[in-house]
Structure 1
Amino acid sequence: MIKYSLECLDKMAKELSYVNIFDIYCSHGNRPCIQYTLDGEIKIITYAQFENVVKHVADNLIDKLGDINKGFVAIKVDNAPEWPALFWGVLMAGYKPFLIDYRHALELTQFFIDQAKAVAIITTEQLDIQNTLIIDANDLILMDKRQILDLAALPIPTDSTPGDRIRKYSWGDEIALCTSGTTSTAKIFTYNGEAMSNQVLSARQVIIENEIICSDSPKRNLAFLPLHHIFGFMANYFWYSFFATSMVFPANKAPSSLLAACKEHKVTHILAVPLLVNNIVNGLQRKLSKEKKFKRFMFNAMLKTSLLCQRINPVWGTKVAKKLFKKSVLSNLAGDSIEIIISGGGHLLPETLKVISGIGYYTICGFGMTETGISSMERNKSLKKRLASRVGAPVSCIEYRIVPMDPSNPDVGELQIRGKSLHSGVVKNGQILSTALNSEGWFETGDIGRLEDGALYIEGRLKEVIVNESGENVYPDELEDYFTELEGVTQFTVLGISKGGGNKYEDITLVMQSSKDVSDKEYLARLLGQVKERNNRLPVFKKLSRILVTNDSLPLANGIKIKRAEIKKQIEAGQGNYVDL
């Protein structure tokens, strides 16, 4: 059933503003809003109780800032049960929340503060930031998971509606998010109430087409993704909370804690990055490789049975899969309460999709950017289409078009996006400027995509396309699918490395992070043999010309995806502890 969800969307359509969105949040009443484990007990805060928590933050912020200019207030805080109250409290107090990665170094943080001319920054750190007021988050609400419970327990007035009470405040109606990068590349984009409301309204078509993604049944969403990030904020928190989902905050981000939280709180929805999903499957396969031959045979037989059932009927087949793998596999992972995993922020390997779907975790891929919000997700239930790594057709308020780079291949090119839910402005030197769109109103994403039957496939980034002597464009994401399950390899990527000497062409290079000693010659010989065997399957113009391995961690953007550009720069400068195979 999706009746309640559709009613919420009808209310949203009447007023496109943040205050209306929060009004709808509060109207969810006694449905769980936030939950976590404290002192061995599950603690729950309802949507009705959340109003008092947010008002507490807003009142304290107003006392702190007084009559100061109602500009941006940066929030530089890690995921915590109190984080949503900080966000809404800033808006309720009349300011504009500016979400900053809590891991950003001082230089980049200062750059963002200066660009936005932020009037304050809320943080739990000791920061030497200039030109703004530094507010300890604990001065707004104690970040101890306890005061929030006391605030939630305060009486809720019965002589007025949540809407009447919250609208007594002078609300802000704009937020800002920033891209990752350096002080020369990072940018700040804003979303006003209208743009954000359209982002939410686009869910109507999604939930009508696929109730597995969202329905009226009780939903519990794992708060794993960083809430300052577009995927973590827009989809994981904002979108699902609008539909009365409870956010489950794990004790920490260690894999064991995440899986434990899923089982203890019976999490139904996981929004994750490929890194997490790939690691779950890799761990499962490593464990399976140590089992006896009969157990491996039985696992593969059950996997084939599961996938066959899902091809016949995706919903029924997923139920069959959960029964097959409940005791032997799911009990050791996230449990059997998971209804869906939505992966975004990078390329999910086909083998990973096959295994994770096969064991009973219905998994789809989606696409979005800081500049565009969430623009598509795979809504077709067909197993074949889900396993193809499609990110789906655009949501109702979004259009896609492909601008070919090569006339001989018109179906592949730069993805451009247009619609009502894109960012509403760009922040530079304290000014909110017009949107970063071209003259026709399209946002040029810099991503390479192709459209088939209305659905989008992402091939990679324009700036990461490899051009070798063949003159062909080679897409790294496509090649990475061939190099999964290599012995000892925990992370890897494919990228182009300059040949040097003024040569305009690049070596197609596989860079691997290994958990095994890269000074072990026997191991390196085995690894090289495995890579060569995969490489031989590739067309001549796509074959690797260089292979590097290291024991050092590969750099990640937002802790989500590998920074190809940083690795490329490092290798071309002759830096890093790489062994060239």
Structure 2
Amino acid sequence: MNFLNVYEEITVPFSERPMMIWFEGDEKKNCNAEGFRAFTDSAAAYLEKVFSDIPKGHWIGLKSRNHPMWYPVFFALEKIGYPVLLLDENIDSLALESFCRQAKLAGIVSEKDESTENIICCKISDILFSSCEKPENICWEYRVAFCTSGTTGNAKIFVFHADSVIEQSRRVRKSLISQEKMLSEIDVSSCLVIQTLPQRHCLGFGLTMLVLPWGLSVILPEKEGIFSVADTCRKHGVFCLCTVPAIWKGLFRMAQARFGNCGSESMHKLLGEKMLLAVSAGARLNETLWEKAMDSGLTFLNGWGMTETGFVSIGNISDDKSVDYVGKLVGGHETEILSPDENNFGELAVNGSIVYQSVLVDGEEISRDRSEFYRTGDIFSLDDGRYYFRGRRKSVLIREDGENIYLDELESHFSFLENEQFCVFEHNEQPALVFYSQKDVTEEITDKLRTVNYSLPVQKRISKFYCSNIPLPMTSKGETARYYMSSYISENSENIREIVLYRQ
């Protein structure tokens, strides 16, 4: 199986209706399957000439923001025999150099000229204005690679095969339909899904590969920014919005500011009457967002997965009263909870046909041992087929008495700080909390910190509180860099002060 099979699977439902919808200025554009294939063939013919000196089977990078031509360019490269390495358009030159070295990249398609002595670059704008028709030599590839730097900044490249892309799409769709009766009854010909997640990201790519074979058309926002996401949903009758918690946070704030609450009526005023399905992906829902999602009147789905594993679990948040609930297992996976503690919390390990097939290291493709479970580094518990995300393994502080303290769980108790950047971290083998604020810390905030902290069991109380007047460091995933925080506080003592809590 190769990407021809994926290509056919996503185009078949759209012979007579729009497959992709986008905007050029104020003009609304779209293409059906025929137009999509024509774009792909034209791009393939042009790229075939640009990369004529590169042997088939060598990796080509695709480095671009979301764009109407992104998917045709992706399939064009696969069609002429080049596996595609999906790159973040915002990575710096050092990170790009690292990924190029790991994959022995021979060429790159980008929004700007990034040619080097060893890499041929083709600009997307040149492809758009080409007048080619069809490639001469078709030899479909079967591999795609996703990049992740995790929290370490080290380049990691995971390779997936076309058959696992198709299997994941089918299994997630089956899982959703089995859990949500509404999804088996919808008229897909009138439903739009808005693409806000990066197309090069495993979630954004996976979402598109999920919804197009289902027959759901994809629409890009009219403009960049959260206001345009809301406007596009409302004006064009979008049915489903899948995005990260940070965007949901902004949308809930928008509804609160405009209509006074985030209830069903307000969310439909904001996002349109056709908006029924909401999906939060990419990061954990905190308790405040979870409560607002529960009150939104939308069918709100949450799940868990990684670049390495694809979608592992998915479910409706209203099916369980726990904010930690991340759904039921998607078919194609096996799981184990390793070394569970007295609460049955342990590290999740995953295996199955949807887990990555290989990694790229110094130009070599190293296959994964299919008999071994992949250790995710995330702490889970499992109850009657329901999965609960309890935090990162590195987010577990083990006290001298053997007591496990889950820093993510502690963080949830201080969700009233959601308007500030904050995190709980390990400092001198004790839990500490730091938050960023350019304002003076009020007595009201101090009282809340004190009240919440004293309500916790003694062994789980925060030992130190800090306020920073400079933004806290972030990981490549856009999360506060918990693991660097202790040294960060030491290195920036002039900008960070301790808040002393005491009883009145």
Considering the TM-score relative to the shorter chain, is it more than 0.5?
A: yes
Residues 546-555 or 110-119, more deviating: 546-555
Q: Deviations over 1:273-297 (max 9, x none)?
A: 2222233334555678xx6xxxxxx
**Taking structure 1 as reference, are residues 170 and 384 closer, same or farther at Cα in structure 2, changes over 3 Å only?**
closer
1:418 aligns with 2:418: no
Residues 216-225 or 62-71, more deviating: 216-225
1:401 aligns with 2:336: yes
Match of 1:339 among 273, 276, 292: 276
Residue matched to 2:198? 226
Q: Percent of aligned pairs with the same residue?
A: 26
Residue matched to 1:52? 38
Alignment length (residue pairs): 494
Alignment of structure 1 residues 509-524 onto 2, 5 Å: 509-514=432-437, 517-518=438-439, 520=440, 523-524=441-442
> 1:393 aligns to what SS in structure 2?
strand
Residue matched to 2:19? 33
Residue matched to 1:64? 50
Counterpart amino acid of residue 444 in structure 1: R
Residue matched to 1:528? 446
**Taking structure 1 as reference, are residues 219 and 568 closer, same or farther at Cα in structure 2, changes over 3 Å only?**
farther
TM-score (norm 2): 0.89
TM-score (norm 1): 0.78
Residue matched to 1:12? none
Residue matched to 1:189? 158
Instruction: Tell me how far apart the structure 2 counterparts of residues 384 and 256 of structure 1 sit (CA, whole Å).
Output: 30
Residues 414-423 or 390-399, more deviating: 390-399
Any conservation in 2 of the 1:116–1:427 contact (CA below 8 Å)?
Answer: yes
Q: Deviations over 1:172-226 (max 9, x none)?
A: 1100011124886331110112222221231324323324457552332221111
Match of 2:268 among 330, 335, 339: 330
**Taking structure 1 as reference, are residues 44 and 569 closer, same or farther at Cα in structure 2, changes over 3 Å only?**
farther
Task: Give the superposition deviation at 1:231.
Answer: 1.4
Match of 1:124 among 99, 111, 116: 111
> 1:69 aligns to what SS in structure 2?
coil
Residues 205-214 or 461-470, more deviating: 205-214
Task: Give the superposition deviation at 1:260.
Answer: 1.3
Any conservation in 2 of the 1:350–1:387 contact (CA below 8 Å)?
Answer: no
5+ unaligned residues in a row in structure 1: which ranges? 1-15, 155-164, 292-298, 304-321, 500-504
> 2:387 aligns to what SS in structure 1?
strand
Counterpart amino acid of residue 385 in structure 1: D
Residues 266-275 or 529-538, more deviating: 529-538
5+ unaligned residues in a row in structure 2: which ranges? 500-504
Task: Give the superposition deviation at 1:512.
Answer: 2.2
> 2:42 aligns to what SS in structure 1?
helix
Task: Give the superposition deviation at 1:56.
Answer: 1.1
Alignment of structure 1 residues 139-218 onto 2, 5 Å: 139-141=126-128, 169-181=138-150, 185-203=154-172, 204-212=174-182, 215-217=186-188, 218=190
Alignment of structure 1 residues 200-279 onto 2, 5 Å: 200-203=169-172, 204-212=174-182, 215-217=186-188, 218-234=190-206, 236-279=207-250
1:370 aligns with 2:342: no
Task: Give the superposition deviation at 1:542.
Answer: 1.8
**Taking structure 1 as reference, are residues 358 and 534 closer, same or farther at Cα in structure 2, changes over 3 Å only?**
same
> 1:68 aligns to what SS in structure 2?
coil
**Taking structure 1 as reference, are residues 453 and 183 closer, same or farther at Cα in structure 2, changes over 3 Å only?**
closer
> 1:355 aligns to what SS in structure 2?
helix
1:356 aligns with 2:293: yes
Any conservation in 2 of the 1:275–1:560 contact (CA below 8 Å)?
Answer: no
Q: Deviations over 1:391-446 (max 9, x none)?
A: 1121111111100254x34x111100011111111111111111166xx4211111
Counterpart amino acid of residue 303 in structure 2: G
**Taking structure 1 as reference, are residues 329 and 274 closer, same or farther at Cα in structure 2, changes over 3 Å only?**
closer
Residue matched to 1:157? none
Instruction: Tell me how far apart the structure 2 counterparts of residues 576 and 365 of structure 1 sit (CA, whole Å).
Output: 40
Residue matched to 1:105? 92
**Taking structure 1 as reference, are residues 389 and 66 closer, same or farther at Cα in structure 2, changes over 3 Å only?**
same
Q: CA RMSD in A?
A: 2.8
1:491 aligns with 2:421: yes
Task: Give the superposition deviation at 1:350.
Answer: 2.9
Task: Give the superposition deviation at 1:55.
Answer: 1.0
Residue matched to 1:316? none
Any conservation in 1 of the 2:12–2:213 contact (CA below 8 Å)?
Answer: no
Instruction: Tell me how far apart the structure 2 counterparts of residues 550 and 527 of structure 1 sit (CA, whole Å).
Output: 14
Residue matched to 2:381? 450
Residue matched to 1:18? 3
Instruction: Tell me how far apart the structure 2 counterparts of residues 580 and 456 of structure 1 sit (CA, whole Å).
Output: 38
Task: Give the superposition deviation at 1:576.
Answer: 8.0
Any conservation in 2 of the 1:220–1:245 contact (CA below 8 Å)?
Answer: yes
1:89 aligns with 2:76: yes
Task: Give the superposition deviation at 1:477.
Answer: 2.1
Q: Deviations over 1:148-168 (max 9, x none)?
A: xx99xx9xxxxxxxxxx9997
Task: Give the superposition deviation at 1:557.
Answer: 4.0
1:383 aligns with 2:369: no
Task: Give the superposition deviation at 1:483.
Answer: 1.7
Instruction: Tell me how far apart the structure 1 counterparts of residues 473 and 211 of structure 2 sit (CA, whole Å).
Output: 30
Residue matched to 1:280? 251
Instruction: Tell me how far apart the structure 2 counterparts of residues 244 and 557 of structure 1 sit (CA, whole Å).
Output: 36
Residue matched to 2:465? 547
Any conservation in 2 of the 1:275–1:561 contact (CA below 8 Å)?
Answer: no
Q: Deviations over 1:337-370 (max 9, x none)?
A: 2221111222202332222231322212111111
